[in-house]
């Protein structure tokens, strides 16, 4: 089982095991705004890009931090619907190629996500576990510079820099998402949350990736 799926399964099992029937601090109709930061588990979602004279050119990158902004509305004390925009930043990587050529690549994932959170209240009034599910569109943004000049590169480069061909590519894929986490309420309006998610992208590189995040949120009645 992939590491992101193991993380999501563990957090979901914990949520179900610790959940009880006590009242949730969440209020029906409340509106929530939050910010999360963390990192990917297993690196960013890779991208295959066409480069002249090189086949199967796949851009991969370990994570270098994530940032997300989320909004949610409470349908009931145990159910929220949320929307989220996030960015997974990758590392700049230098990569040797055949015949002495080399490539410098940057990879960025922009994530547009929506879904629901099911709240499992506990006997501790300020603590609530939750499981989530939804869908996302992951836009893979690639910036690659290869140190050769080809008169007919595909796709056409946006810049040619002194003997190097530069290709910028944007590609979006759909990715179901599952996860779970825990909320701690400082009071009726402010709180802290920790969560883990697993994304399962479709498309050219269907490799799961995970994200571990933590952040603050505020509820408006």
pLDDT digits (tens, 9 = 90+) for 122-137: 777 789 999 999 999 9
Are the C-beta atoms of 104 and 92 separated by less than 8 Å?
yes
Residue 1 confidence (pLDDT) above 60? no
Residue of higher predicted confidence among 49 and 41:
41
Q: What would the mean pLDDT of 207-214 be, rounded to a whole number?
A: 95
Residues 6+ apart with CB under 8 A from 10: none
Q: What would the mean pLDDT of 167-190 be, rounded to a whole number?
A: 91
pTM of the model: 0.80
pLDDT at 159: 52
Are the C-beta atoms of 213 and 19 separated by less than 8 Å?
no
Query: How would DSSP label each residue in 90-114?
Result: E--EEEE-GGG-EEEEEEEEEEEEE
Cis peptide before 155, with omega less than 30 degrees from 0? yes
Q: Is 3 helix (H, G, I), strand (E, B) or coil?
A: helix
> Quick count: other Cβ atoms within 10 Å of Cβ 65?
13
Do the strands 209-220 and 31-41 form a parallel or antiparallel pair, or are they unpaired?
antiparallel
Map out the domains of the chain with their CATH numbers: 3-220 (2.40.160.20)
pLDDT digits (tens, 9 = 90+) for 20-46: 334 457 777 889 999 999 999 989 999
Both ends of the chain: CA-CA distance in Å?
41
Residue 85 confidence (pLDDT) above 70? yes
Residue 4 exposed, middle or buried by CB count within 10 Å (0-12, 13-18, 19+): buried
- Interior/surface letters 107-128, b for 16+ CB within 10 angstroms, e for the rest: bbbebebebebbbbbbeeeeeb
pLDDT at 11: 47
Residue 139 confidence (pLDDT) above 90? yes
Residue 147 confidence (pLDDT) above 70? yes
């Amino acid at each position: 089982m992939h590491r992101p799926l193991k993380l999501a399964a563990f957090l979901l099992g914990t949520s179900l095991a610790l959940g009880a029937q006590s009242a949730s601090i969440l209020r029906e109709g409340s509106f929530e705004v939050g910010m999360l930061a963390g990192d990917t588990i297993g690196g960013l979602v890779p991208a295959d890009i066409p480069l002249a004279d090189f086949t199967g050119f796949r851009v991969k990158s370990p994570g270098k931090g994530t940032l997300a902004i989320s909004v949610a509305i409470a349908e009931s004390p145990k159910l929220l619907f949320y929307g989220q925009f996030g960015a997974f930043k990758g590392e700049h990587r230098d990569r040797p190629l055949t015949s002495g050529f080399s490539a410098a690549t940057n990879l960025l994932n922009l994530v547009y996500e929506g879904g629901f959170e099911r709240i499992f209240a506990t006997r501790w009034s300020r603590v609530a576990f939750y499981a989530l599910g939804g869908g996302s569109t992951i836009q893979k943004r690639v910036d690659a510079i290869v140190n050769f000049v080809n008169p007919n590169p595909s796709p056409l480069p946006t810049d040619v820099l002194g003997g190097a061909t530069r290709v910028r590519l944007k590609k979006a894929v759909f990715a179901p998402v599952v996860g779970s986490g825990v909320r701690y309420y400082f009071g009726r309006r402010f709180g802290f949350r920790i969560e883990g998610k697993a994304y399962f992208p479709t498309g050219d590189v269907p490799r799961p990736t995970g994200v571990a995040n933590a952040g603050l949120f505020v509820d408006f009645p």
